[in-house]
Amino acid sequence: MAGVCTRVTRNLNMEKLRNGYLFPEIAMRELEHMKKYPTAKVISLGIGDTTEPIPDVVTSSMANHARRLSTVEGYRGYGAEQGNKALRKAIAETLYGDLPIKDTEIFVSDGSQCDISRLQLLLGSNVTIAVQDPTFPAYIDSSVIIGQTGDFQDETGKYQNIEYMPCRPQNNFFPDLTTTATTDVIFICSPNNPTGHAASRKQLEQLVEFARANGSIIIFDSAYAAYVTDDSPRSIFEIPGAREVAIEISSFSKFAGFTGVRLGWTVVPDELLFSNGFPVIKDFNRIVCTCFNGASSVAQAGGLACLSSDGLMAVQSVVDYYKENAKILGDTFTSLGLDVYGGINAPYAWVHFPGMKSWDVFTELLEKTHIITVPGCGFGPGGEEHIRVSAFGHRECILEASRRLKSLLS
Amino acid sequence: MFTVCCEAHTTKVSRNANMAKLQAGYLFPEIARRRSAHMLKYPDGQVISLGIGDTTEPIPEVITFGMAKKAHALSTLEGYSGYGAEQGEKQLRAAIASTYYGDLSLEESDIFVSDGAKSDISRLQVMFGSNVTMAVQDPSYPAYVDSSVILGQTGQFQKDVEKYRKIEYMKCNPENGFFPDLSTVSRTDIIFFCSPNNPTGNAATREQLTRLVQFAKDNGSILVYDSAYAMYISDDSPRSIFEIPGAKEVAIEVSSFSKYAGFTGVRLGWTVVPKELLYSDGFPVAKDFNRIVCTTFNGASNISQAGGLACLSPEGLEAMHKVVGFYQENTNIIMETFTSLGFSVYGGKNAPYVWVHFPGQSSWDVFSEILEKTHVVTTPGSGFGPAGDGFIRVSAFGHRGNVLEACKRFKQLYK
């Protein structure tokens, strides 16, 4: 469009970003497909979006809080930027139980995607990061935006200056730390999006040891902790020594169906110090007070209800519902002779299609079964040849999807 | 023989030098701290808060009903919704566009719904990056300066002048009618402008904003226009920068439901980025803002958005006007009080803030004296910038009884 340009130079970091962010890209393809096949019943196992209603005990609490905002006694204005005290306490006591996490170390937020960017703001452009490969894209994209990376290299599918830690079946989906270069920050997601792998206690002990030895900060994304079935750790803070090297982020999104309600939290231990001894928590608090104004009080009321004993039971049964979905999907792919990973400790199945390009598999699955998945390369070059299948969906859709997959692939 | 204590483990990660530049904490938590300390000292003091601009009156029922309804719907199969569009729900974007920008030819797709102006300001800064220069009014809402420091756009704080290097401070005082003398302002990439103004309460005139838009155009700058208090305008001052011809090619507008609907805790706002706004290479700013919103954000709470939609129904709009009217009446009471005591009083007419002049006095000293002697919390003008010194900001949010009581105490102190 013809128009008058300002003389403001576009942020070079924005220029470095490749294409659109992965999930809006998938959403766009879904829309195009639905236009092409208006009568097809598209089943979305792509974007990991929760589908089941939030239990009454939680929504009634939010509705009550909203109604009370219309009363003199119940009206509340600005909340503490760090979050409602009762909620911070409930998170500490209910979700970190025997671990010595204080309520003052918990910062309530409007979700992990925002927290990741606020952490990047805190860290600034002069730090180096390591990510798993494949990985949830927000760690990389936020790193590019903040200016921590170099250019994207088409040949490798990687940004310069990021350390990519391959996670494959061969290394049990955990980075080989003996070959990992030192970086300031290490992003680890466990249970993992997209591979579904939950790191073992031993793996996390090695990670904490590695971070201690190298003076690094681990940012541990435990958004899927509620999906852990076996005795894999649910929090990095179960590992001794983690308090001095790790930040943990988590979310009510997949735990309570809060993907639209928006609620999460970040734990920054008091003992975590920058190289000059300055506590990281002090700077994170400043970021939260300056760049944010607290999570919605209505969402926080919902969070508190989730952590009551009735609430916990209710949201856990929805989690179990999705876990059953994951099992059905996992079994489907296994019965078709494909190698399937994840699915046991996470709501994602990570399916291997050897020798095939993941966007091609995505497209073929979409065309022939009207099922949306996510191509593994969207999560990094290490995701190539894989497809992520998300287990969020109504049971009948999951079963229907299984039927269609069996028809196509058997 | 003696035991050596192990030293605490420090990481080898350098603290972000930009964070180290910040002076003290963000202003309003500091005010809150002083208020809490005062309440501990005087447990029977009956502290009245006219400091932090926090709404106090209940949200009209038509609005909370909308939110309660959405909350209940999330427990049903038909009513459950997960992730929303990061830019906001279509209906709400359309309602904002038609309600506030109807005759200004801005569309739903130009509107980005958020969890509030404070978050939006930082997201805009993240988008602009560290290699831009910025100008702010002096005094101004602290988030513009603080976010600029955090992003690395500024140099060090200079204690003698109380300014950060590389920021262009545009003085706004009684002498220049609280509008910057643009002939003395250096070119910067970004210009933050808030009108009606927090903290001075001044609303820029059409003529002034026309000059500002021209200034931005001549300099190729981007104007970030904060219109969070537009509903408080009682005369014919412009409510949106886009009322000014040519503004679409130079301006972004940030706004909020906080002070309109009492949504300070509910969290809902919006940013307008016109399609016509382009970087120097022709790239549309809205495309980058969209990318920022999709990557560093995940949408405002769907329950808050349902509240926002209810706000913009005819009943909701009427209800919001009533509450705004209530705070406007508070503002009149406060203005009258200080005027009757012989003070030079500014603002108030078009904003819920009264800017009172205490010539020759340190504003933190005045703040402390008022707090000590009347148990009323205000905000010292220097917290908003060096040109704020000598002024106190009195916010008009409060129950009528408290506002009247506070004014009674002011009259006693300053009679």
Digit-coded pLDDT (tens) for A96-141: 999 999 999 999 999 999 999 999 999 999 999 999 999 999 999 9
Same domain, B145 and B79: yes
B263 lies in some domain: yes
Chain B CB contacts of A76 below 8 Å: 265
Class of the CATH domain delimited by A78-308: alpha beta
Q: Does A1 score more than 70 pLDDT? A: no
User: What CATH number does the domain containing B369 carry?
Assistant: 3.90.1150.10
DSSP letter, residue B175:
G
Tell me: do B363 and B385 sit in the same domain.
Answer: yes
Distance from CA of A327 to the nearest CA of B (A): 22
Q: Are residues B178 and B248 in the same domain?
A: yes
Tell whether B336 and B389 lie within a shared domain.
yes
**Closest CB to B301 among A4, A23, A299:** A299
- Point out which residues pair with A164 in neighbouring strands: A131
| Residue B234, both tokens | 């009682």
Question: Most distant CA pair in chain B: distance in Å?
Answer: 84
For residue B48, the enclosing domain spans 25-59+315-414
> Is B303 domain-assigned?
yes
Q: Kindly list the residues from chain B whose CB atom is less than 8 angstroms away from the CB atom of residue A117.
A: 126, 295-297
Q: Do the domain assignments include residue B336?
A: yes
Domain span(s) for CATH 3.40.640.10 in chain A: 78-308
pLDDT tens digits, B83-112: 999 999 999 999 999 999 999 999 999 999
Give the integer Cα–Cα distance in Å for B267 and A271: 32
Cβ pair A12:B129 closer than 8 A: yes
Task: Give the alpha-carbon dihedral of A207, A213, A219, A223, to 10 degrees.
Answer: 20
CATH number, domain containing residue B265: 3.40.640.10
Give how far B290 is from chain A: nearest CA, Å: 10
DSSP-based three-state secondary structure for B187: coil
Query: CA end-to-end span of chain B, whole Å?
Result: 71
Q: Do B307 and B378 sit in the same domain of this protein?
A: no
Tell whether B250 is covered by a domain: yes
Which among B297, B313, B329 is the end of a domain? Answer: B313
Of the residues B273, B292, B313, the one at which a domain ends: B313
**Is B80 within a domain?**
yes
The reply to whether B41 and B119 lie within a common domain is no
DSSP state of B185: P
Instruction: Please tell me whether the interface predicted TM-score (ipTM) of this complex is above 0.90.
Output: yes
Third-level CATH fold of A15-54+311-409: Aspartate Aminotransferase, domain 1 (3.90.1150)
Domain-located, residue B11: no
Enumerate the residues of chain B whose CB falls inside 8 A of the CB of residue A184. 11-14
The answer, yes or no, to whether residue B8 has pLDDT greater than 90, is no
Residue A177 CA to residue A55 CA, distance in Å, equals 42
pLDDT over threshold 80, residue A183: yes
**Torsions phi, psi of A183, nearest 5?**
-135, 165
Tokens, residue A176: 């080989």
Shortest distance between the Cα of B414 and any Cα of chain A, in A, equals 31
Q: Which residues of A touch B190 (CB under 8 A)?
A: 8
For residue A16, which amino acid is it? K
B284 shares its domain with B383? no
Distance from CA of A405 to the nearest CA of B (A): 25
Are residue B184 and residue B302 in the same domain, yes or no? yes
Among chain A residues, CA nearest to B303: A261
Question: Do the chains contact at B295 and A287, CB–CB below 8 Å?
Answer: no
Distance to chain A for B171, nearest Cα, Å: 23
Tokens of B287: 């495309």
Total number of domains in chain B: 2
Mean pLDDT of B111-134: 98
Which residues in chain B are contacts of A60 at CB distance < 8 A?
71-72, 75
Q: What is the pLDDT of residues A263-280, one digit of tens each?
A: 999 999 999 999 999 999
Percent of chain B scoring above 70 in pLDDT = 99
* pLDDT at residue A253 tops 50: yes
How many CA atoms does the CB half-sphere of B313 hold within 13 Å?
15
pLDDT in tens, A214-252: 999 999 999 999 999 999 999 999 999 999 999 999 999
CA-to-CA distance for B197 and B210, rounded, in angstroms? 17
CB contact under 8 A, A145 and B219: no
Of A110, A283, A297, the CB nearest to B19: A283
Mutate to test the interface with B, among A17, A290, A310, A396 (most CBs of B within 10 A): A290
Query: So what's the pLDDT on residue B25?
Result: 77
As a whole number of angstroms, the distance between CA A227 and CA A232 comes to 10
Average pLDDT over residues A297-303: 98
Say if residue B401's pLDDT is above 60. Answer: yes
Alpha carbons within 13 A on the beta-carbon side of B409: 21
Residue A339, min C-alpha distance to chain B (Å): 30
DSSP string, B287-324: HHHHHHHHHH---S-HHHHHHHHHHTSHHHHHHHHHHH
Do B216 and B71 reside in the same domain of the chain? yes
For the cut 70, the answer to whether the pLDDT of residue B355 exceeds it is: yes
Q: Do B59 and A70 touch (CB under 8 A)?
A: yes
Inter-chain Cβ pairs, chain A and chain B, closer than 8 A: 340
pLDDT digits (tens, 9 = 90+) for A302-317: 999 999 999 999 999 9
Is B365 a member of any domain?
yes
pTM of the complete model beyond 0.95: yes
Residues in Cβ contact with B43 at an 8 Å cutoff, skipping those fewer than 6 apart: none
Q: Over the stretch A359-382, which tens digit does the pLDDT of each residue have?
A: 999 999 999 999 999 999 999 999
In a domain, B351, yes or no: yes
Q: Mark which of B313, B340, B364 sits at the end of a domain.
A: B313
As a whole number of angstroms, the distance between CA B303 and CA B331 comes to: 31
* Residues B331 and B302 grouped into a single domain: no
Evaluated on CA atoms B364, B370, B371, B377, the torsion sign reads negative
pLDDT band per the 50, 70, 90 thresholds, residue B7: confident
User: Is the model's pLDDT at B4 over the cut of 70?
Assistant: no
Whether residues B275 and A14 touch (CB distance < 8 A) is answered with no
